[in-house]
Structure 1
Amino acid sequence: MVDLATWNLSIPEGSPPKTIETPRLVDGFKNKYFNSDGSTVYFWAPVTGAKTENAIYPRSELRETYKDGTLRNWLYPDADNFLNATLTVSQVPSSGKVVIGQIHTKDSNKPMVKLEYQYKEATDTGDIVAKVRMRPDDKNARVITVATGVKLGRAFSYRIHLDRTGDLGITAAGRSWYTTISATWRVRPLYFKAGVYVQDNTGYTSEGGKVTFSKLDIDHNT
Protein backbone atom coordinates (compact mmCIF):
# COMPACT_ATOMS: atom_id res chain seq x y z
CA MET A 1 0.00 0.00 0.00
CA VAL A 2 1.34 3.42 -0.96
CA ASP A 3 -0.38 6.42 0.62
CA LEU A 4 -0.10 9.47 -1.65
CA ALA A 5 -1.67 11.87 0.88
CA THR A 6 1.65 13.51 1.81
CA TRP A 7 3.20 14.00 -1.63
CA ASN A 8 2.91 16.07 -4.76
CA LEU A 9 4.27 14.95 -8.13
CA SER A 10 6.47 16.51 -10.79
CA ILE A 11 6.08 14.98 -14.27
CA PRO A 12 8.39 15.60 -17.26
CA GLU A 13 5.76 17.34 -19.39
CA GLY A 14 5.05 21.00 -20.11
CA SER A 15 7.12 24.16 -19.74
CA PRO A 16 7.73 24.44 -16.88
CA PRO A 17 7.03 20.77 -16.06
CA LYS A 18 3.69 20.15 -14.42
CA THR A 19 3.21 19.67 -10.70
CA ILE A 20 0.27 17.45 -9.74
CA GLU A 21 -0.93 18.68 -6.36
CA THR A 22 -1.66 16.36 -3.42
CA PRO A 23 -5.51 16.37 -3.62
CA ARG A 24 -5.40 15.44 -7.31
CA LEU A 25 -2.96 12.60 -6.61
CA VAL A 26 -5.22 11.25 -3.87
CA ASP A 27 -8.19 11.45 -6.26
CA GLY A 28 -6.48 8.98 -8.59
CA PHE A 29 -4.39 10.98 -11.07
CA LYS A 30 -2.68 8.82 -13.68
CA ASN A 31 -1.01 9.29 -17.04
CA LYS A 32 1.87 7.74 -19.00
CA TYR A 33 4.43 9.04 -16.48
CA PHE A 34 2.64 7.97 -13.29
CA ASN A 35 0.09 5.40 -12.26
CA SER A 36 -1.10 4.20 -8.86
CA ASP A 37 -3.45 1.30 -8.22
CA GLY A 38 -3.29 1.61 -4.42
CA SER A 39 -0.87 -1.26 -3.91
CA THR A 40 1.87 -0.02 -6.26
CA VAL A 41 3.01 3.26 -7.77
CA TYR A 42 4.62 3.31 -11.22
CA PHE A 43 6.95 6.04 -12.53
CA TRP A 44 8.28 6.60 -16.05
CA ALA A 45 10.67 9.38 -17.10
CA PRO A 46 12.01 9.44 -20.69
CA VAL A 47 15.41 11.00 -21.35
CA THR A 48 13.65 13.42 -23.71
CA GLY A 49 11.22 14.67 -21.04
CA ALA A 50 10.88 18.24 -19.81
CA LYS A 51 13.25 19.33 -17.04
CA THR A 52 12.49 21.33 -13.90
CA GLU A 53 14.20 24.67 -13.29
CA ASN A 54 17.95 24.34 -12.65
CA ALA A 55 17.86 20.62 -13.49
CA ILE A 56 19.64 19.02 -16.44
CA TYR A 57 17.74 15.73 -16.34
CA PRO A 58 14.01 14.78 -16.47
CA ARG A 59 12.10 13.29 -13.57
CA SER A 60 8.81 11.75 -12.55
CA GLU A 61 9.19 12.26 -8.84
CA LEU A 62 7.20 12.79 -5.65
CA ARG A 63 7.96 15.65 -3.24
CA GLU A 64 6.97 15.64 0.43
CA THR A 65 3.93 17.71 1.47
CA TYR A 66 1.41 18.04 4.25
CA LYS A 67 -2.02 16.47 3.70
CA ASP A 68 -3.48 19.80 2.58
CA GLY A 69 -0.88 19.95 -0.19
CA THR A 70 1.33 22.57 1.47
CA LEU A 71 5.01 21.88 0.92
CA ARG A 72 6.58 20.21 3.94
CA ASN A 73 10.09 21.19 5.00
CA TRP A 74 11.69 20.09 8.25
CA LEU A 75 14.77 20.61 10.40
CA TYR A 76 16.49 17.38 11.30
CA PRO A 77 16.95 18.12 15.06
CA ASP A 78 13.15 18.20 15.49
CA ALA A 79 12.53 14.46 14.91
CA ASP A 80 13.80 11.07 13.79
CA ASN A 81 13.23 11.25 10.03
CA PHE A 82 12.65 8.15 7.88
CA LEU A 83 12.01 7.41 4.22
CA ASN A 84 11.20 3.72 3.68
CA ALA A 85 10.64 2.12 0.28
CA THR A 86 10.35 -1.20 -1.52
CA LEU A 87 10.70 -0.95 -5.29
CA THR A 88 11.66 -2.55 -8.58
CA VAL A 89 13.78 -0.82 -11.23
CA SER A 90 12.69 -2.27 -14.59
CA GLN A 91 14.40 0.11 -17.06
CA VAL A 92 17.39 2.44 -16.99
CA PRO A 93 18.70 4.94 -19.58
CA SER A 94 21.98 4.37 -21.43
CA SER A 95 23.89 6.02 -18.55
CA GLY A 96 22.52 3.22 -16.35
CA LYS A 97 21.66 5.68 -13.57
CA VAL A 98 18.37 6.65 -11.93
CA VAL A 99 17.85 8.47 -8.62
CA ILE A 100 15.25 6.63 -6.51
CA GLY A 101 15.23 8.65 -3.26
CA GLN A 102 16.51 11.96 -1.90
CA ILE A 103 16.83 14.23 1.09
CA HIS A 104 16.61 17.54 -0.70
CA THR A 105 17.27 21.06 0.53
CA LYS A 106 14.76 23.91 0.34
CA ASP A 107 15.70 26.66 -2.14
CA SER A 108 18.82 24.79 -3.26
CA ASN A 109 19.87 22.53 -6.11
CA LYS A 110 22.31 20.72 -3.82
CA PRO A 111 20.53 17.84 -2.03
CA MET A 112 21.97 16.33 1.13
CA VAL A 113 21.38 12.77 -0.10
CA LYS A 114 20.78 11.23 -3.51
CA LEU A 115 20.26 7.47 -3.63
CA GLU A 116 20.90 6.03 -7.09
CA TYR A 117 20.48 2.70 -8.81
CA GLN A 118 23.46 2.31 -11.16
CA TYR A 119 23.20 -0.52 -13.68
CA LYS A 120 26.39 -2.05 -15.07
CA GLU A 121 26.25 -4.03 -18.31
CA ALA A 122 29.44 -5.92 -17.46
CA THR A 123 27.78 -7.68 -14.53
CA ASP A 124 24.14 -7.32 -15.65
CA THR A 125 23.36 -6.04 -12.15
CA GLY A 126 23.05 -2.71 -10.40
CA ASP A 127 24.75 -1.00 -7.48
CA ILE A 128 22.89 1.12 -4.95
CA VAL A 129 24.99 4.25 -4.54
CA ALA A 130 24.54 7.08 -2.04
CA LYS A 131 25.80 10.57 -2.84
CA VAL A 132 26.00 12.54 0.41
CA ARG A 133 26.94 16.15 1.06
CA MET A 134 28.42 16.26 4.53
CA ARG A 135 28.02 20.07 4.65
CA PRO A 136 25.46 22.26 2.83
CA ASP A 137 28.19 24.14 0.97
CA ASP A 138 30.06 21.04 -0.23
CA LYS A 139 30.58 21.36 -3.97
CA ASN A 140 30.97 17.60 -4.39
CA ALA A 141 29.20 14.80 -2.59
CA ARG A 142 30.79 11.75 -1.02
CA VAL A 143 30.03 8.69 -3.15
CA ILE A 144 29.36 5.45 -1.28
CA THR A 145 28.40 2.10 -2.79
CA VAL A 146 25.91 0.76 -0.25
CA ALA A 147 24.95 -2.48 -2.03
CA THR A 148 25.85 -4.43 -5.18
CA GLY A 149 24.36 -7.19 -7.30
CA VAL A 150 20.79 -5.86 -7.57
CA LYS A 151 19.25 -7.16 -10.79
CA LEU A 152 16.90 -5.17 -12.98
CA GLY A 153 13.34 -6.28 -12.34
CA ARG A 154 14.06 -7.60 -8.86
CA ALA A 155 12.42 -5.95 -5.84
CA PHE A 156 14.57 -4.49 -3.07
CA SER A 157 14.08 -2.12 -0.15
CA TYR A 158 15.83 0.97 1.10
CA ARG A 159 15.67 3.17 4.17
CA ILE A 160 17.08 6.64 4.66
CA HIS A 161 17.17 7.62 8.34
CA LEU A 162 18.38 10.99 9.63
CA ASP A 163 18.03 11.28 13.39
CA ARG A 164 17.88 14.38 15.56
CA THR A 165 21.62 14.18 16.40
CA GLY A 166 22.68 14.25 12.73
CA ASP A 167 23.39 10.53 12.42
CA LEU A 168 22.55 9.40 8.89
CA GLY A 169 21.90 5.75 8.10
CA ILE A 170 21.24 4.37 4.63
CA THR A 171 20.16 0.76 4.20
CA ALA A 172 19.60 -0.76 0.76
CA ALA A 173 19.18 -4.34 -0.48
CA GLY A 174 20.17 -5.67 2.94
CA ARG A 175 23.37 -3.65 3.36
CA SER A 176 23.91 -0.54 5.49
CA TRP A 177 26.17 2.51 5.72
CA TYR A 178 26.31 5.13 8.43
CA THR A 179 27.84 8.57 8.95
CA THR A 180 27.29 11.78 10.91
CA ILE A 181 26.61 14.91 8.92
CA SER A 182 27.93 18.36 9.81
CA ALA A 183 25.93 20.35 12.37
CA THR A 184 25.85 23.17 9.80
CA TRP A 185 22.86 21.31 8.31
CA ARG A 186 20.81 21.98 11.49
CA VAL A 187 19.23 25.20 10.20
CA ARG A 188 18.62 24.03 6.62
CA PRO A 189 15.01 23.05 5.81
CA LEU A 190 14.92 19.57 4.25
CA TYR A 191 12.36 17.36 2.52
CA PHE A 192 12.12 13.85 1.09
CA LYS A 193 11.70 12.96 -2.59
CA ALA A 194 11.15 9.59 -4.29
CA GLY A 195 10.41 8.29 -7.77
CA VAL A 196 12.55 8.11 -10.89
CA TYR A 197 14.98 10.93 -11.72
CA VAL A 198 16.94 9.77 -14.77
CA GLN A 199 20.60 10.80 -14.92
CA ASP A 200 20.59 11.12 -18.69
CA ASN A 201 19.05 13.53 -21.19
CA THR A 202 19.92 12.19 -24.66
CA GLY A 203 18.48 9.32 -26.66
CA TYR A 204 15.24 8.07 -28.17
CA THR A 205 11.84 8.82 -26.65
CA SER A 206 11.66 5.15 -25.62
CA GLU A 207 14.80 5.49 -23.48
CA GLY A 208 14.45 6.41 -19.83
CA GLY A 209 13.78 5.06 -16.35
CA LYS A 210 10.91 2.90 -15.10
CA VAL A 211 10.46 2.21 -11.41
CA THR A 212 7.56 0.67 -9.48
CA PHE A 213 7.20 1.14 -5.71
CA SER A 214 5.18 -1.32 -3.63
CA LYS A 215 5.98 0.50 -0.38
CA LEU A 216 6.75 4.16 0.21
CA ASP A 217 6.29 5.95 3.49
CA ILE A 218 7.66 8.84 5.51
CA ASP A 219 7.90 9.07 9.29
CA HIS A 220 8.94 12.02 11.44
CA ASN A 221 8.97 10.59 14.97
CA THR A 222 9.11 13.34 17.56
Structure 2
Amino acid sequence: MIELALWNLTIPVGVPATVISTQELSGGYQSDYFKSADGKVHFWAPVNGTSTKGSEYPRSELRETSADGKLRNWQYSAADNYLTASMEVNQVPSTGRLIIGQIHAYQQPKPLLKVEYLYQEATKTGNIVAKYRPAPGTDDQPVTIAQGVALNQRINYTIHLDPSGTLSVEANGKKWSTPLNSGWQSKSLYFKAGVYVQDNSGYETEAGATTFYDLKAEHRPL
Protein backbone atom coordinates (compact mmCIF):
# COMPACT_ATOMS: atom_id res chain seq x y z
CA MET A 1 0.00 0.00 0.00
CA ILE A 2 1.28 3.47 -0.91
CA GLU A 3 0.29 6.47 1.21
CA LEU A 4 -0.08 9.17 -1.43
CA ALA A 5 -0.85 11.86 1.16
CA LEU A 6 2.90 12.25 1.80
CA TRP A 7 4.07 12.91 -1.76
CA ASN A 8 3.63 15.21 -4.70
CA LEU A 9 4.05 14.14 -8.33
CA THR A 10 5.91 15.53 -11.32
CA ILE A 11 4.55 14.59 -14.76
CA PRO A 12 6.21 15.27 -18.15
CA VAL A 13 3.80 17.90 -19.53
CA GLY A 14 4.10 21.69 -19.56
CA VAL A 15 7.26 23.80 -19.51
CA PRO A 16 8.72 23.23 -17.02
CA ALA A 17 7.13 19.88 -16.17
CA THR A 18 3.91 20.00 -14.12
CA VAL A 19 3.78 19.27 -10.38
CA ILE A 20 0.60 17.64 -9.07
CA SER A 21 0.04 18.75 -5.47
CA THR A 22 -0.16 16.40 -2.51
CA GLN A 23 -3.83 17.28 -2.02
CA GLU A 24 -4.72 16.62 -5.67
CA LEU A 25 -2.73 13.40 -5.71
CA SER A 26 -4.29 11.98 -2.55
CA GLY A 27 -7.71 13.13 -3.80
CA GLY A 28 -7.67 10.58 -6.62
CA TYR A 29 -5.61 12.11 -9.42
CA GLN A 30 -5.27 9.85 -12.48
CA SER A 31 -3.74 10.40 -15.93
CA ASP A 32 -1.81 8.64 -18.67
CA TYR A 33 1.32 9.28 -16.61
CA PHE A 34 0.05 8.06 -13.24
CA LYS A 35 -2.60 5.51 -12.36
CA SER A 36 -3.45 4.27 -8.87
CA ALA A 37 -5.73 1.27 -8.43
CA ASP A 38 -6.01 -1.91 -6.37
CA GLY A 39 -3.23 -0.84 -4.02
CA LYS A 40 -0.63 -0.34 -6.74
CA VAL A 41 0.63 2.66 -8.68
CA HIS A 42 1.69 2.74 -12.34
CA PHE A 43 4.07 5.39 -13.69
CA TRP A 44 4.66 6.17 -17.37
CA ALA A 45 6.94 8.75 -19.01
CA PRO A 46 7.49 9.03 -22.79
CA VAL A 47 10.90 10.09 -24.09
CA ASN A 48 9.37 13.12 -25.81
CA GLY A 49 7.85 14.43 -22.57
CA THR A 50 8.96 17.68 -20.99
CA SER A 51 11.50 17.93 -18.18
CA THR A 52 11.93 19.86 -14.95
CA LYS A 53 14.15 22.92 -14.72
CA GLY A 54 17.78 21.79 -14.63
CA SER A 55 17.06 18.38 -16.18
CA GLU A 56 17.03 17.15 -19.77
CA TYR A 57 14.97 13.99 -19.23
CA PRO A 58 11.23 13.39 -18.62
CA ARG A 59 9.81 11.79 -15.52
CA SER A 60 6.67 10.68 -13.72
CA GLU A 61 8.03 10.73 -10.20
CA LEU A 62 6.93 11.19 -6.59
CA ARG A 63 8.69 13.61 -4.23
CA GLU A 64 8.42 13.61 -0.43
CA THR A 65 6.09 16.13 1.22
CA SER A 66 4.37 16.61 4.55
CA ALA A 67 0.65 15.90 4.89
CA ASP A 68 -0.13 19.59 4.39
CA GLY A 69 1.67 19.52 1.02
CA LYS A 70 4.79 21.39 2.10
CA LEU A 71 8.06 20.00 0.76
CA ARG A 72 9.66 17.55 3.19
CA ASN A 73 13.42 18.04 3.50
CA TRP A 74 15.64 16.47 6.13
CA GLN A 75 19.20 16.22 7.33
CA TYR A 76 20.48 12.69 7.70
CA SER A 77 21.85 13.18 11.23
CA ALA A 78 18.38 13.96 12.62
CA ALA A 79 16.86 10.49 12.11
CA ASP A 80 17.37 7.02 10.63
CA ASN A 81 16.20 7.42 7.03
CA TYR A 82 14.70 4.68 4.85
CA LEU A 83 13.01 4.40 1.47
CA THR A 84 11.60 0.92 0.86
CA ALA A 85 9.87 -0.22 -2.31
CA SER A 86 8.42 -3.28 -3.99
CA MET A 87 8.04 -2.67 -7.71
CA GLU A 88 8.75 -3.81 -11.26
CA VAL A 89 10.02 -2.23 -14.45
CA ASN A 90 7.54 -2.74 -17.30
CA GLN A 91 9.12 -0.79 -20.17
CA VAL A 92 12.46 0.87 -20.93
CA PRO A 93 13.47 3.39 -23.63
CA SER A 94 16.07 2.59 -26.30
CA THR A 95 18.90 3.57 -23.95
CA GLY A 96 17.68 0.88 -21.54
CA ARG A 97 18.10 3.27 -18.62
CA LEU A 98 15.69 4.66 -16.06
CA ILE A 99 15.86 5.83 -12.44
CA ILE A 100 13.54 4.11 -9.95
CA GLY A 101 14.57 5.79 -6.67
CA GLN A 102 16.63 8.78 -5.49
CA ILE A 103 17.97 10.79 -2.60
CA HIS A 104 18.05 14.34 -3.90
CA ALA A 105 19.44 17.48 -2.25
CA TYR A 106 17.23 20.57 -2.03
CA GLN A 107 18.27 23.33 -4.44
CA GLN A 108 21.30 21.31 -5.54
CA PRO A 109 21.89 20.54 -9.24
CA LYS A 110 22.54 16.82 -8.80
CA PRO A 111 21.22 14.15 -6.42
CA LEU A 112 23.18 12.34 -3.75
CA LEU A 113 21.95 8.95 -5.00
CA LYS A 114 20.19 7.52 -8.05
CA VAL A 115 19.06 3.89 -8.17
CA GLU A 116 19.03 2.96 -11.85
CA TYR A 117 17.63 0.02 -13.79
CA LEU A 118 19.95 -0.65 -16.74
CA TYR A 119 18.47 -3.02 -19.33
CA GLN A 120 20.74 -5.03 -21.63
CA GLU A 121 19.21 -6.19 -24.90
CA ALA A 122 21.72 -9.03 -25.27
CA THR A 123 20.55 -10.78 -22.09
CA LYS A 124 16.96 -9.45 -21.98
CA THR A 125 17.61 -8.57 -18.34
CA GLY A 126 18.70 -5.53 -16.37
CA ASN A 127 21.09 -4.60 -13.59
CA ILE A 128 20.25 -2.49 -10.54
CA VAL A 129 22.97 0.15 -10.22
CA ALA A 130 23.51 2.67 -7.42
CA LYS A 131 25.04 5.91 -8.66
CA TYR A 132 26.13 8.00 -5.71
CA ARG A 133 28.23 11.09 -5.09
CA PRO A 134 30.62 10.57 -2.14
CA ALA A 135 30.68 14.33 -1.47
CA PRO A 136 28.80 17.35 -2.84
CA GLY A 137 30.34 18.49 -6.11
CA THR A 138 31.89 15.12 -6.99
CA ASP A 139 30.99 12.93 -9.97
CA ASP A 140 28.68 9.91 -9.84
CA GLN A 141 30.26 6.66 -8.70
CA PRO A 142 28.38 3.62 -10.14
CA VAL A 143 28.07 0.39 -8.16
CA THR A 144 26.17 -2.67 -9.46
CA ILE A 145 23.90 -4.04 -6.72
CA ALA A 146 21.93 -6.82 -8.47
CA GLN A 147 22.06 -8.44 -11.90
CA GLY A 148 19.80 -10.45 -14.20
CA VAL A 149 16.51 -8.71 -13.37
CA ALA A 150 13.98 -9.18 -16.18
CA LEU A 151 11.26 -6.75 -17.18
CA ASN A 152 8.07 -7.32 -15.16
CA GLN A 153 10.08 -9.10 -12.45
CA ARG A 154 9.54 -7.96 -8.87
CA ILE A 155 12.27 -5.73 -7.44
CA ASN A 156 12.46 -5.12 -3.71
CA TYR A 157 14.83 -2.33 -2.79
CA THR A 158 15.77 -0.37 0.33
CA ILE A 159 17.71 2.86 0.47
CA HIS A 160 19.08 3.59 3.95
CA LEU A 161 20.99 6.68 5.08
CA ASP A 162 21.77 6.39 8.77
CA PRO A 163 22.53 9.23 11.23
CA SER A 164 26.28 8.64 10.97
CA GLY A 165 26.20 9.23 7.21
CA THR A 166 26.48 5.63 6.07
CA LEU A 167 24.57 5.05 2.84
CA SER A 168 23.35 1.58 1.88
CA VAL A 169 21.31 0.18 -0.98
CA GLU A 170 19.80 -3.31 -0.93
CA ALA A 171 18.09 -4.82 -3.98
CA ASN A 172 16.74 -8.37 -4.30
CA GLY A 173 18.85 -9.61 -1.41
CA LYS A 174 22.13 -7.97 -2.49
CA LYS A 175 23.47 -5.15 -0.32
CA TRP A 176 26.13 -2.47 -0.63
CA SER A 177 27.10 0.34 1.75
CA THR A 178 29.61 3.17 2.05
CA PRO A 179 30.30 6.12 4.36
CA LEU A 180 29.62 9.56 2.88
CA ASN A 181 31.74 12.66 3.16
CA SER A 182 30.54 14.92 6.01
CA GLY A 183 29.85 17.64 3.43
CA TRP A 184 26.42 16.06 2.97
CA GLN A 185 25.52 16.55 6.65
CA SER A 186 24.36 20.14 6.24
CA LYS A 187 22.37 19.46 3.05
CA SER A 188 18.57 19.26 3.02
CA LEU A 189 17.68 15.91 1.47
CA TYR A 190 14.53 14.19 0.22
CA PHE A 191 13.45 10.90 -1.34
CA LYS A 192 11.99 10.46 -4.83
CA ALA A 193 10.59 7.38 -6.62
CA GLY A 194 8.72 6.47 -9.80
CA VAL A 195 10.11 6.48 -13.33
CA TYR A 196 12.73 8.99 -14.47
CA VAL A 197 13.61 8.12 -18.06
CA GLN A 198 17.27 8.57 -19.06
CA ASP A 199 16.42 9.26 -22.70
CA ASN A 200 14.85 12.19 -24.54
CA SER A 201 14.87 11.13 -28.19
CA GLY A 202 12.20 9.16 -30.04
CA TYR A 203 8.46 8.86 -30.51
CA GLU A 204 5.84 8.89 -27.76
CA THR A 205 5.56 5.11 -27.90
CA GLU A 206 9.13 4.92 -26.60
CA ALA A 207 8.89 5.36 -22.85
CA GLY A 208 9.71 4.12 -19.40
CA ALA A 209 7.08 2.46 -17.21
CA THR A 210 7.08 1.05 -13.69
CA THR A 211 4.53 -0.42 -11.29
CA PHE A 212 4.95 0.08 -7.53
CA TYR A 213 3.18 -2.29 -5.14
CA ASP A 214 4.61 -0.73 -1.99
CA LEU A 215 6.53 2.43 -1.23
CA LYS A 216 7.36 3.97 2.13
CA ALA A 217 9.63 6.80 3.24
CA GLU A 218 10.54 6.65 6.93
CA HIS A 219 12.54 8.89 9.24
CA ARG A 220 12.81 6.88 12.42
CA PRO A 221 13.48 8.90 15.60
CA LEU A 222 16.87 8.44 17.27
* TM bracket, shorter-chain basis: over 0.9
Q: Find the counterpart in structure 2 of residue 78 from structure 1.
A: 78
Query: For the Cα contact (< 8 Å) 1:2–1:38, is it kept in 2?
Result: no
TM-score normalised over the length of structure 1: 0.98
In the alignment, does 2:7 pair up with 1:7?
A: yes
The farther-off stretch of 208-217 and 12-21 is 12-21
CA distance in 1, matches of 2:63, 2:109: 14
For 1:136, what is the secondary structure of its paired residue? coil
**1:179 offset after TM fit, Å?**
0.4
For 1:13, what is the secondary structure of its paired residue? coil
**1:114 offset after TM fit, Å?**
0.2
Question: What is the count of residue pairs matched by the alignment?
Answer: 221
**1:63 offset after TM fit, Å?**
0.5
Q: Find the counterpart in structure 1 of residue 190 from structure 2.
A: 191
Query: For the Cα contact (< 8 Å) 1:150–1:173, is it kept in 2?
Result: no
Amino acid paired to 1:169: S
| Residues 160-203 of structure 1 deviation map (CA, whole Å, 9 limit, x = unaligned) | 00000001110012110010001111100000000000000001
Which residues in structure 2 correspond to 1:65-214 (within 5 Å)? Answer: 65-138=65-138, 140-214=139-213
In the alignment, does 2:52 pair up with 1:49?
A: no
CA distance in 1, matches of 2:7, 2:197: 19
Q: Identify unmatched segments of 5+ residues in structure 1.
A: none
Query: For the Cα contact (< 8 Å) 1:16–1:52, is it kept in 2?
Result: yes
| Residues 101-135 of structure 1 deviation map (CA, whole Å, 9 limit, x = unaligned) | 00000001210000000000111100000000000
For 1:77, what is the secondary structure of its paired residue? helix
CA distance in 2, matches of 1:186, 1:88: 32
For 1:53, what is the secondary structure of its paired residue? coil
CA distance in 2, matches of 1:56, 1:156: 26
Query: For the Cα contact (< 8 Å) 1:8–1:65, is it kept in 2?
Result: yes
**1:55 offset after TM fit, Å?**
0.4
Q: Find the counterpart in structure 2 of residue 37 from structure 1.
A: 37
CA distance in 1, matches of 2:126, 2:16: 32
**1:15 offset after TM fit, Å?**
1.6
**1:38 offset after TM fit, Å?**
5.0
CA distance in 2, matches of 1:52, 1:199: 13
**1:16 offset after TM fit, Å?**
1.8
Identical counterparts, % of pairs: 50
**1:97 offset after TM fit, Å?**
0.3
CA distance in 1, matches of 2:147, 2:172: 8
Query: For the Cα contact (< 8 Å) 1:81–1:221, is it kept in 2?
Result: yes
Which aligned runs of 4 or more in structure 1 are off by greater than 3 angstroms?
none
Query: For the Cα contact (< 8 Å) 1:3–1:38, is it kept in 2?
Result: no
Amino acid paired to 2:137: D
For 2:24, what is the secondary structure of its paired residue? helix
For 1:14, what is the secondary structure of its paired residue? coil
Amino acid paired to 1:216: L
Q: Find the counterpart in structure 2 of residue 220 from structure 1.
A: 219
For 1:5, what is the secondary structure of its paired residue? helix
TM-score normalised over the length of structure 2: 0.98
Q: Find the counterpart in structure 2 of residue 60 from structure 1.
A: 60
CA distance in 2, matches of 1:35, 1:75: 31
